[in-house]
Amino acid sequence: MTLRPAGAADAPRLAVVVRAAYGGYVASIGVTPGPLGEDYAEVVGRGGATVAERDGALAGLVVLSVDDEGFVIENVAVDPAHQGTGVGRALLAHAEAAARAAGFDSIHLWTHERMVANLALYRRIGYVEFARRRRGGEPVVHLRKPLG
């Protein structure tokens, strides 16, 4: 597996991976997750998007930025065909390394409160809830991980 910055030519494939990764949540949470509505050409143009490739296939992506609360993972998505193979872990490790390199001592993200499997995963790998808020009218849980 290799990680590299996303380029303009990747945008259509990013949208496909995100649809595959998040599509199943529509029924379970009752709304369309935010990443499904993104314009991936614009996301790539902003910078901060990294793709994971395995055997020539786009296996996943992570989108990073800085907001008022620090270094943030805006989106992490893994193609279901590659879930459970370490792609997600590699993308999260990349995000943490990027946050450290940028001088941050923590990293944060949010997820819908009904995405319970995601919440359990993030808690298992060291993320701690610090707030519950509404984002786009939906209840989300904000989590932060200290970087040691």
Q: What predicted TM-score, i.e. pTM, was given to this entire model?
A: 0.93
Range from 21-30, 91-100, 118-127 carrying the lowest mean pLDDT: 21-30
Token pair 């990013």 is found at: 14
Query: What type of residue sits at position 24?
Result: G
How big is the CA angle at 31 (ends 13 and 43), to the nearest 5 degrees?
35
Phi/psi of residue 118, each to 5°?
-65, -45
> Is 77:95 a contact under the CB 8 Å cutoff?
no
Q: pLDDT digits over 107-145, tens only?
A: 999 999 998 988 999 999 999 999 999 988 889 999 999
